[in-house]
Every structure is written in C-alpha cells, then in structure tokens.
Chains A and B, each alone.
Chain A
Amino acid sequence: MTGFTAIGWIMAGLSVAVIRAGWGGRRSVALAGWALGAVALVVLARGGGAWGMATGLTIGMIAALGFVLHAAWRSPASAPNAVRQAAALATPLDWGDVARRLAVFVLVVPVAFCSAQWLAFAVQALVRGGSDLDADSLALALFLQPVIWTALMCWQMTLPGPVRMVLPPLSAALLGAFLWGIS
C-alpha cells in the first residue's frame, strides 16, 4: 500500500518533468507527461483515495514551481524598457462612474451571493425530496453555494455593464425557483 503510494508520488513528480521537457518542443512529449500525470493520480487514488490524490497534486504543483523558479534563475538579463509615463491628469470626480461601480458591487456581491444561496438551497431541496435534512444534503448545500457564487461572479465580470450583470443572478434565482417548485 505504502509502496504503491510512493510510486504514485514519483510518477506525479516525473510527469511534470516530462511535461516541462515537451513544453514548447515536441508536443507528443508533453502529452506523454500529461498521460503519466493522469496515471499517477489513478495509482494514488487506488493507493490512498482522496488523500493520495491530494498529495500527488501537491507534489506536481511544487515540482512545477521548482521548474519555473529555475527558469527565473536562468533568465537572461535584458535592458529595462524606458518608463512610459503620461503627464499627470487631474480627473474630476465622475458621479456617474461612482454610481456604476456601486451598482456593480451590489450586483456582484450581495445580490449574486443571495441568488447563489437560493439556488444551492433549491438544489439540496430537490435532491433530498421530502425527507429529513441529512448530512449529504446539508454538505451539498454548503459546498454548492460558493461554487455557484464564484460562477456567477465570473459570468458577471465578463459582461460589459451593470444592466447586463443583472442576468446571471436573475437566471440563478429563476432556476432556483423552478427547482424549488418541482422538489
């Protein structure tokens, strides 16, 4: 069991080395590295379950950090670019801009938070049907909330203005209402 895990750890570290070797070079080498990493995770999952996978991923990330620090150390010195600096501007306070930023904050933080909470609550209600609250449905609600909120924030922040940013939380709220209705 321990030997199995140790092999997985070695493979996880090696996979990053192989990916690095193929990066910017032969694509097949990088793909082989990714494949080795996937096999390492399977080996670790078999040997140590979620614990094994977590340790393997950490080893992979630390190995990757090591490679990038090595790249930093060996990077050639170059002359710094000239500092481009425009003349200082005195910008008057734009109240419209302040209001827009405030609206974005309200939509992305409290509004998106509440709609994520509502959708997570509705999903757990749907999953458990009419039965009593149990560990699975509670854990589902607690884990889903930040995931949905993150997704809503990402969606909102790729939209051009506060008006369009209403759509993601509104969609989540409507979906939550639908799921709540059929639960």
Chain B
Amino acid sequence: MNQIRVRRPSLAKQALSGHGAIGLLASAALYIVALSGMIVVVAERWQRWEQPNVAEYETLSPAAVQNAMVQALALEKGKPRTTHLYLRMPDADLPRAVVTTDHSAWYVDAAGRPTVREANGWSEFLLALHINLTLPVQWGMLLVGALGAVLAAVSVTGVLALPKIFKDAFRLRMRGDPQIARADWHNRLGTLTLPFALMIALTGAAIGLSSAGIALLAQTDKGGDREAVSASIFGNEPAHDPAPAPLANAGRAVVSVQARFAQARPVYVIVHDPATRGQFVQVLAEHPRRLIYGESYGFSGAGDYLGKVGLSDGATGRQAAASTYGLHFGNYAGLPMQLAYAAMGLALCVLTATGTTLWLNKRRRKGLPTARLAAAWNLVVWGTPLALVLAAWERWLLGPDAPLTALFWLTLAAGLGAAIARPSLMDGPLMRIVLACALAATALLHLAIFRAGQWPVSALDGCLLLGAFALWLPGRCGRAGAGRPSAVRTGEPAAG
C-alpha cells in the first residue's frame, strides 16, 4: 500500500499565511491609526487651519510669559484650583502661545494677554484617534501599542513570506491588471518603507505598552507607585505644600534657561501647583539636531535653577526614552521631515488597504461569499477619511465643543450597517470620488470663509485640493483604459 506523505508547508508559505492572519486581525484599526497618524504629523498646522485668523508671532518675551500665567490664573476665579499652568511657546509650527489650566486654554497675544479661547476640538479629536483610538487613555494606548507590535510582526512576516521581495524592489506594474498592480503596490511600498514601518511600529508599541511594564515594575519595586517608576526616566516633582503663595516667577525661569543653555529653545513652561508654597516651575526646551523631545529644566517658585532631568545628556535609558517620541512623531527636523513622515504614513495606509483588498479578491476567486466583507472594507478605506472630513464640518457647524468622537463612530457604524445591508452602496470607485469632492469642497469653503492670511494655513487647503485631484485621477485613467474588469471594484488608494 502506498503511503501518502504530507509535506510540511515551507517557511515562506507559513509566513504568508501568518502575514495574512495577523494583518486581517487588526487591519481596520491599523488603517485608522495609520491614516490619523499621517494627518497628525502636522497636528499644529491643522490646529491653525481649524482656527485661523488668530494673531501670530514667533517669539514671546519672558515678561509676556509671566503676564500670561498671571492673567490665566485670574481667569480661573470661581473655579476649583488648577493643579498646573502650562504655557506653550510660539514656534514655526504653531506661531501663537497658548496658556492652559485644568479647565480652559487661551491663545495669548505677544504681550501675554489672553485673547481667544483655544478651540481646536477637531485637531484634538484627530490626536486622540491616533494615540488611543478615542478610548479611555490608558486602555486606548495599550490597544494602539498592541497594534504597533502587530504592525511590526506583519512587516517581518511579509518579508519572510516573499523571499524574492527585494529582487523586484524597483518594479511597479501600475497599468494593466488591477490585482497585479495592487500586489505590486503592496510589495514595493512594504519593501521600501520597511525601516520606517518597523521604526514607527516599535516606537509606537514601546510608547503604548509602557504602562503595562511600568505597572509591573511599580508592583515589584515601588509598592504600586507608578509615578515613582516613571520618575526614574522623566524626573519627579518636589513635595506638595498647599499653603498659598504668590505665583511662581516663570519669566525668570525662562530667562535663566536662555542664559545658561544658549542652544536650548523653551517650548513649554509649566507651573506645578501654582500659587502654593510647593509650586515648582519646569521649562521644557528643545535641543536642535537631537531626537529627544527636549530637556526638562527645574526651578523653584522664585525662579531659582534647581537642575535638569538629564534627557539630553543623562543615562542612556533616559536619552533613548526621550528619543522614542521624536522618532515616532517625526518632529525632530522641521517641516521637510514632517512631510517625509506624512508621505511614508500615506504609504502605510496604501499598504494596509491593498493588503486586505488582495486577501478579499483571493477569497472571491475561491468562490467564497465576499460581497459584505468587501463592502465593509470599502467603508473602512474610504469612509474613514470621509468621516474625518465630516467631523471637520460638524466642528464648524456645531462649534468646537461638538461631540466629534461620538459623531465619527456613529457615522462609521451607520456606514457599516449600510455596507452589510446593501453591499452595492459601498462601491469603491464611487466612494473615492465622493471623498475627492468632499476634500475639494472643504478646501474651497475654508478658503472662501476664512480667507486666511497665513500661507501655511492656505497651503493645507492646497494639500486638500491636491489630495482631491489625486483621488479623482485614477478614475480618469481607468476610464481611458478599455476592458477593465468590473468585478474588482474596491479602488484602494492610488491603485490605478
């Protein structure tokens, strides 16, 4: 009797299967995090776009810093005592200072006088979507951190699955068979942005999952005190003394940083427990040509220098931890680096979108029921950016306090319901054109209504118009080509 020997699948085949399984597990969430991440690379510029026509300036004097703090505290009368006062210094990304308490935030003018309430609900919503998927912060960050590890695993298994992936690294057959084009986009972008994907994924995972490691070490080493564990890297605050005292001299602290550390540029001035005897001033200052997000300089309430944490020149672990944020958010080399991050973030979105679409088409070819899944995926790919645009409109129509998070998820949930009930509604190419129209209308209306004088704000409108054109273009090319298969109507970004 002949014995049938079952051969074990090769590593590449197993890796391909694993690549698909891990990718599918988290594809929708990964896509949303990648898309929002691509947008919030320039979060401060979107904040200006959301609230244009606020006075802008490049520098704020130490006297104005102090004045802003005093006036912000005066505005707090009748409210519970604020535990912190933050002043964000103006810079190239956001050339307006913002003073923030536990209860409100105000733009201040160059003299430090609060002028307009900071009303950036939409930009804040985008940040929350990227950082914690709008879930409660700790759990949301854990989930997004886990997605980072998943992305890293998908990237590695992708390379294992296609050993010849590097051989065709510079070949992309955009015209012709859509499935080949999709596979080429997926494989080429995956290869060329591999270092970026791994870096973004692992730094994101380290940031998001840090709370788990800190909780464990707090239990074993610090009697459950998580702040004491974090202080090992980020430094700690002096003991609280709630007795009343005049507000700290934050202006003097800024002068001191400028005098002692000529290269450092203050970006945040923070007064902990303001107007108490235990108050403490922290000046966070950027160091040029470094990956660290900054160095933290500490001052007493009188503005006397107490020392620094050592994020810039302390223990390797401190410098590495402080560099994680800069590396992840891409804010360490100005606008060109941010644009490069946005471009590679877009590549990550295309990678996620094409990956799942390839799997869906494979499933369809096997004769498995796919219509509802494909419609739901079309909703994720095209409906998510559309819901983000709708959220911007809702913010302007309902005001900065509009419940954008609820409206966004409700929009997606309603779309998902429609996709399941009537899959034909979620036609990919049609949704792509709708998104293009929405982007163009938003940019044109924004230009018409706000007539923003600041070119970086108008430049974002230009980017939206460019995005609309890029979305409209494949449809035109497709119309020019004859005999294009109509069964595949997924139309993921720029798939030609």
Q: Give Cα A80 to B222, complex, Å.
A: 64
B267 at the interface (CB under 8 A from A): no
Interface window among B72-80, B174-182, B253-261, B450-458: B174-182
CB contacts under 8 Å to B, within A101-154, are 104-105, 108-109, 113, 117, 120-121, 124, 132-143, 145-147, 149-150, 153-154
- Chain B residue contacts of A108, Cβ below 8 A: 22
A-B contact count (CB 8 A): 230
Least CB distance from A129 to B in Å reads: 13
Least CB distance from A177 to B in Å reads: 15
B103 at the interface (CB under 8 A from A): no
Q: Give Cα A41 to B17, complex, Å.
A: 35
Least CB distance from B153 to A in Å reads: 4
Q: Mark A146-169, 1 if CB is under 8 A from B, else 0.
A: 110110011011111000000000
B245 at the interface (CB under 8 A from A): no
Least CB distance from B152 to A in Å reads: 4
CB contacts under 8 Å to B, within A65-121, are 65, 67-69, 71-73, 75-91, 104-105, 108-109, 113, 117, 120-121
A62 at the interface (CB under 8 A from B): yes
Contact A77 B481 (CB under 8 A): yes
- Chain B residue contacts of A139, Cβ below 8 A: 233, 316-318, 320-321
- Chain A residue contacts of B11, Cβ below 8 A: 158
Interface size on A, residues (CB 8 A): 74
* CB-based nearest B residue for A125: B220
Among candidates A48, A86, A146, A154, residue contacting B205 with C-beta atoms closer than 8 Å: A146
CB contacts under 8 Å to A, within B76-121, are none
- Chain A residue contacts of B213, Cβ below 8 A: 117, 120-121, 138, 141-142, 145
Contact A77 B175 (CB under 8 A): yes
Q: Which of A72, A86, A121 has the most CB of B within 10 A?
A: A72
A50 at the interface (CB under 8 A from B): yes
Contact A81 B343 (CB under 8 A): no
Contact B217 A138 (CB under 8 A): yes
Contact A135 B317 (CB under 8 A): yes
* CB-based nearest A residue for B208: A146
CB contacts under 8 Å to A, within B167-190, are 167, 169-180, 184-185, 188-189
* CB-based nearest A residue for B21: A157
Contact B317 A160 (CB under 8 A): no
Q: Give Cα A143 to B370, complex, Å.
A: 40
- Chain B residue contacts of A51, Cβ below 8 A: 289-291, 332-333
Least CB distance from B205 to A in Å reads: 3
Contact A88 B222 (CB under 8 A): no
Among candidates B160, B173, B483, residue contacting A79 with C-beta atoms closer than 8 Å: B483
* CB-based nearest A residue for B185: A72
Contact A72 B174 (CB under 8 A): yes
* CB-based nearest B residue for A91: B368
B366 at the interface (CB under 8 A from A): yes
User: What are 9 A-B contacts defined by CB distance under 8 Å?
Assistant: A48-B289, A65-B193, A80-B483, A121-B220, A153-B22, A154-B160, A157-B14, A157-B19, A157-B22
Q: Which 6 A-B pairs have the closest CB atoms?
A: A157-B18, A86-B367, A139-B317, A146-B205, A78-B176, A136-B317
